[in-house]
Amino acid sequence: MAQAKKSSKDTAAENAALRRRVAELEAALASGPGRELDIMLFDGMGMAIYVADMDTHELLYVNEEMRRLFGKPLVGGLCHRELQGREEPCPFCTNDIIRALNGEVYRWEFDNPLVNRHGLLMDRVIRWGDGRDVRLEVCLDISERRRVEQEIQCRDAVLQAVSLAAETLLGSEDWPRDMQTVLADLGRSVGAHRAYIFRNRTAADGRLVMDQTFEWCAPGVTPQIGNPELQGVVYEEACPRWERSLSLGQPIHGPVAGFPDNERLALEAQGIRSLLVAPIFVAGSWWGFIGFDDCFRPRAWSSAEADALVTASGLIGAALSRHRTEEDLLRALASQEALLQEVHHRVKNNLQVVSSLLDMAARRAEPGPAVEAMQDVRRKVQAMALIHAGIYCGSRLDVVDFGAYAGMLYSHLASCYPDAARRMTPVFSRRPLHLPLAQAVPCALILNEALTNVFRHACPGEGRGEVRVTWDLLPDGRIRLAVADQGPGLPPEVLPGGRGGMGFKLLRGLAEHQLGGSLSLSPGPGLTLAVEFRPGSSATVPSGEEKNPV
């Protein structure tokens, strides 16, 4: 049953009762050794009481509790020798302090190494029966309370370290590096001299083995991380008990002197006097264990310490599981990206093959409308091939850097019309524009058709001119992609209200059906072809206009 926590009122009542008891005892003892019957009344109170001469340090009286605690009569001996095991008076003797208090009680706490108990001591000067001043000391054994307080302090320290470990590991991008920090924090919080992690693996012969993977050591403690005997340790040979218990989620702890001989000898060879190990599970499978060593004392680990460190092992398992999932996702993502890059690469190559076939067919055909049509189709195919080339060579597979693409397309068309290109000055928007593939392809075909028209018709004869390719964000959130030249303008048949040619019908179909937008032609001076459409969800659009020659 859990013990209820005492309130401040309960503690105050206990202290008041204790003071009354001390006052009653002082009154009984003040009458001298002739009041043995009254003194015996205090033997059943659970307090150790003695009286000592303040000059000679001789023990004048001890009660039954004192005799039981030390296992001998004590009276007649010197207090520092009998009670502390010292040949000289204790350096912490309170005689001078209580003399200065003029009868008041001096309270203090002390760990007695001879009996291994922690006491709340109350010292006071009283008058002995023969008239001399003597020291009365009453000791209330608070060892259990002290132990509980220390356990709570240790538990709180461990939980604070566990909280810090959670913050460190769950937000870590390099968990092997950060694991060293976590082990150091946990090891210090629990007062251990080593903290380490062993990882399980299956050997070539199918047996389960452990490898030491991480370790932290306190100053002055010999590390074991480089010990070859701690790599590839076979559970069923070295510690079958550990495999059974840890695989079931049960920790192992205690002084190694009580462990089976095969375990004890291996642990004592590493300087371990006591240890606690807790299993680590990752995604429901036993992954390994975390351990803590005490190299100086046969320590009995408290339940609070064990529970807190088991919590830490669960946290580490959760962090490892998270990082394993992230690594699997990254590998899957890398595989998918590689596959998509390969798809775009193959599409680009296939379009290049189609372009080459069209070029070969055009070279074999007689000059005329058919050759012109094949070359026109070839340029459209090449424009689409450049889109896929930009994707598989770029850093993103979901969008196209249309600004960079526009420059590549212009360079490609300039190589097809070198004479016109020498007399043309291009000006492109410098603002970034990234479009999803579904919008980039029709925009590429529109831009290809518009620039081809510029190279063919905008600079007749030896005339010179300028072509501007711009993209802007309109107030209603649409993108306006425009190509403007300084040429002679539109022929009558494609003016607004005219029937238009095949190229104009293609552009209108791309703008309306594939982009869901609209196409406009603005005549003279020169020609401005513009398409307006709403950007896709993954598009990055410009905010303003800034132009600079390519």
Judged by average pLDDT, the poorest of 6-10, 134-138, 221-225, 239-243 is 6-10
Per-residue confidence (pLDDT) for residue 387, from 0 to 100: 65
* Sequence-separated contacts (24+) of 214-222 with Cβ below 8 Å: 214/176, 214/179, 214/180, 214/183, 215/183, 216/180, 216/183, 216/184, 216/187, 217/193, 218/187, 218/188, 218/192, 218/193, 218/194, 221/193, 221/194, 221/271, 221/295, 222/270, 222/271
Q: Over the stretch 124-140, which tens digit does the pLDDT of each residue have?
A: 898 888 888 999 888 88
Q: What is the pLDDT of residue 333?
A: 61
Q: Is residue 484 scored above 50 in pLDDT?
A: yes
Q: Is the pLDDT of residue 280 over 60?
A: yes
Query: Which CATH number fits the domain 150-327, given the four candidates 3.40.50.720, 1.10.8.190, 3.40.640.10, 3.30.450.40?
Result: 3.30.450.40
Has this prediction a pTM greater than 0.85? no
Task: Assign 363 to helix, strand or coil.
Answer: helix
- Phi and psi angles of residue 420, each rounded to the nearest 5 degrees, phi first: -70, -35
pLDDT computed for residue 34 by the predictor: 38
pLDDT at 493: 57
Using 50, 70 and 90 to split pLDDT, how confident is the model at 405?
A: confident
The predicted model gives 385-394 an average pLDDT of 61
* Helix pair 303-364, 143-170: axis angle to 10 deg: 0
Report the pLDDT value the prediction gives residue 549, as an integer from 0 to 100: 36
Mean pLDDT in residue range 267-279: 92
C-beta of residue 26 within 8 angstroms of C-beta of residue 136: yes
pLDDT for the residue numbered 419: 85
- Structural domain boundaries in the chain: 10-141, 150-327, 389-549
- Is the model more confident about 353 or about 81? 81
Minimum mean pLDDT range among 34-43, 250-259, 292-301: 34-43
Residues β-bridged to residue 369: none
| % of the chain with per-residue pLDDT over 90 | 25
pLDDT digits (tens, 9 = 90+) for 161-186: 777 766 666 666 676 778 888 888 88
pLDDT at residue 397, as a whole number: 60
Q: Which amino acid is located at 152 in the chain?
A: I
Which band of pLDDT confidence, cut at 50, 70 and 90, is reported for residue 550? very low
| pLDDT score recorded for residue 547 | 41
Burial grade of 461 (CB within 10 A; 0-12, 13-18, 19 or more): exposed
Return the pLDDT at 524. 66
pLDDT score, position 394: 54
Q: How confident is the model at residue 80 (pLDDT cuts 50, 70, 90)?
A: very high
Contact 149, 143 (CB under 8 A): no
pLDDT at 343: 57
Architecture of domain 10-141 in this structure? 2-Layer Sandwich (3.30)
Same fold, 150-327 and 389-549: no
Given this structure, which CATH class describes domain 389-549? alpha beta
Confidence of residue 334 (pLDDT cuts 50, 70, 90): low
pLDDT at position 167 is 67
Q: What CA–CA distances, in Å, run from 404 to 189, 409, 429, 468, 528?
A: 57, 9, 11, 15, 21
Averaged pLDDT, 500-508 = 70
Q: Which of 75-84, 208-217, 464-473, 521-530 has the lowest mean pLDDT?
A: 521-530
* Band of residue 272 on the pLDDT scale cut at 50, 70, 90: very high
Q: Is 115 helix (H, G, I), strand (E, B) or coil?
A: coil
